Chain A
Amino acid sequence: MRETLRTRMGWLHAWTGFVGGLVMVCVFVTGSLSVFDTEITRWMQPEVRVAPGTPLTPAALDVAARMIHEGETHGIPAFLALPSPRSPTLKVLHYDGREFTGPQLDPQTGVIIPARQTAGGEFFFRFHYTLCMQGPAGILAVDIPAIGLLVAIGSGLVIHIRALLPDIVLLRLSATRLRAWLDAHLLTGVLFLPFMVMITYTGVLVHVDRLLPAIPVTSLWSQGRPVSRSTAIRPPHVAPSPVFQPLPPLAPLLAAARAPLGGREAGFILFSPDHLSIFASDASGPFLTRDHADFHLPDGALLATAATSGSIARSVQLLHGLHYARFAATGLRWLYLVSGLCATAVIASGLVLFGMKRRRDRGHTVAFRIGEGLTMTTLVGLPASLCALLWASRLLPATLPGRDGTEITVFFTVWGLCALHALTCAVTGRGLRAWRTQLAMSAVLAGGLLPLDGLTAPAALHAAPAIHAAVDGMGLGAASLALYVLSHLRDRAA
């Protein structure tokens, strides 16, 4: 009976793991990189050389306030993102239907920094939770495989439960290739199980309203169509055309907001026609709140303070905070990145094992070869195209109109070509050759980031050496890994 359960769980684990894993590798890789999205944006915009910790002056705030007021009178609502240790510039942002965009100002002078348009680290973040698909389809395309991953984790636990603790650090590299891969999968899978469960569960929870819309329970028994809470009947409301009040000096308001926000730093300011709201920074703590202090316009009198309380709200704030990790200092961010990459390795090794176990019996079938091509597209094509995005951010002319969109086009073009190459080679029985070609290409693109950086932005290397060393070092690490795998594949071919 127990063996039957394990067999069935094995089937469930294999198929949910493979189908969901193809998507989840993309989600985990970009999610891991998103932990440093601000820093990646700074790497992609070498013109921004403001030193971290540059003090914010009232003059710069006034320049930003004037820009926002002008935008509002022209019907472009904007908000102000304040400088932080990670992002030292003042940003006047508006939503263009796809992302938040706008000029960056020097926090001391308020002068606009002529930075190139770029998809930036924001692209990794957006790809992580929507796969760059518009509307709720993208969120569902990530959330459903994420639930599949939780199922795969649960079924994997059932399969491995008897050896879970005794074999917790067992890795037999000298055993057969299949055994060594399985050991590596189990070792990383068990050790990073808490992180994987935490990050996947909290990630699903962030957009749970898309999966389970909040429908009042009473409507389930009422006749007719259920009405969701967000679309419930409301009295008709005709909004009068807003009259935007002039903005008072912002620096005194920031100082005044500190006490109502419990001593926390301000993160951003939202503007309404008759009031403005100063929000607590997401970096204030592990609870991702939207606590804010409202000030009346134009006199700047404190109107109210909004702070969410209650155990359920606090729990949700904590779960969101754990997923976004905006409170984390640099060291903890690195641990998130490493854990995310190890979780990616768990899924990636699972994909490889799925193919290895079926190669002998079904290696000749078209379905297997398509599966191999898709695995290759995900495991090698994605990193190569991510590197291509970074190359594009440096090689495209800085003044090119629609530059950020062109960068994204480069990313998807390279990834599409990788997919075409992988699938063509795999279906025609040249899968190993395709692995080698794409690994070599990934190694060149990733390893080339260091010379590219040095040649195209030598001044930025001096302005932010830690950021450039980290991105270029990650590139070298990825290139070394690709070359290591490539050398093993050459041995196997020989």
Chain B
Amino acid sequence: MTFPVALAACLAAFLCHALLHGRRYRLPAPPPGLRPVAYLLRMAAPLGALAGAVASHGVTGALLWFAAASLAGLGAGLLLATRQY
């Protein structure tokens, strides 16, 4: 479960990041109330996933988290690119 959770957390964080840089990613600006939530999710979700992964699997957990973060970023990039395409 560590990898899917880390993947989902990192994907959410990257999408929040894109939302917070809406002009750069050609996305509509988020409502003012959502911005703090997006900031919080962008920071807390990956860190929480990292803490959970390392606590439960040690070195392997850290490797799983890094792989999940990389693949989530790639997924977010492709998702945003195909949306613009």
> Which residues of A are interface residues toward B (Cβ below 8 A)?
166-174, 187-188, 190-192, 194-195, 286, 318, 322, 327-329, 331-332, 335-336, 338-339, 342
Contact = CB atoms under 8 A, between A and B. Distances in A.
B29 to A, nearest CB: 15
A27 to B, nearest CB: 19
Contact of B59 (A188, A286, A342): A286
A192 B70 contact: yes
Nearest to A194: B66
B84 A174 contact: yes
Contacts of B8: none
Judged by DSSP, the binding face of B is helix
A318 B62 CA distance: 13
B45 to A, nearest CB: 15
Given A174-B84, A328-B63, 5 more contacts: A166-B24, A170-B77, A171-B78, A172-B81, A328-B60
Given A195-B67, A335-B63, A167 B80 contact: no
Contacts of A318: 59
Contacts of B18: 169
Interface string B55-85: 0001110011011011101101110111011
A329 B67 CA distance: 14
Contacts of A322: 59, 63
Contact of A339 (B3, B24, B67): B67
A173 B74 contact: no
Q: Which residue, B24, B67, B73, B85, has most C-beta atoms of chain A within 10 A?
A: B67
A230 B78 CA distance: 52
A468 to B, nearest CB: 25
A167 B24 contact: yes
A-B complex: 7 closest residue pairs judged by Cβ atoms: A171-B81, A335-B67, A191-B73, A169-B77, A286-B59, A171-B77, A191-B70
Given A168-B17, A192-B70, A339-B70, A187 B77 contact: yes
Contacts of B71: 335, 338
Contacts of A286: 58-60
21 contacts: A169-B73, A173-B84, A187-B73, A187-B74, A188-B74, A190-B73, A191-B69, A191-B70, A191-B73, A191-B74, A194-B70, A195-B66, A195-B67, A286-B59, A286-B60, A318-B59, A328-B63, A335-B63, A335-B67, A338-B67, A339-B70
Q: Which residue, B74, B77, B78, has most C-beta atoms of chain A within 10 A?
A: B77
B35 interface: no
B21 to A, nearest CB: 6
A288 to B, nearest CB: 12
B76 A169 contact: yes
Interface of B: 3, 14, 17-18, 21, 24-25, 58-60, 63-64, 66-67, 69-71, 73-74, 76-78, 80-82, 84-85
A169 B3 CA distance: 20
Contacts of B24: 166-167, 170
Contacts of B77: 169-171, 187, 191
Given A192-B70, A318-B59, A173 B14 contact: no
B7 to A, nearest CB: 11
Contacts of B84: 172-174
Nearest to B2: A331
A168 B70 contact: no
Contact of B60 (A169, A195, A332): A332
B66 A168 contact: no
Nearest to A321: B59
Nearest to A167: B24
Contacts of B3: 331, 335
Contacts of B17: 168-169
B10 to A, nearest CB: 10
A169 B80 contact: yes
A191 B14 CA distance: 11
B71 to A, nearest CB: 7
Nearest to B65: A194
A327 to B, nearest CB: 8
A168 B63 contact: no
A192 B77 CA distance: 13
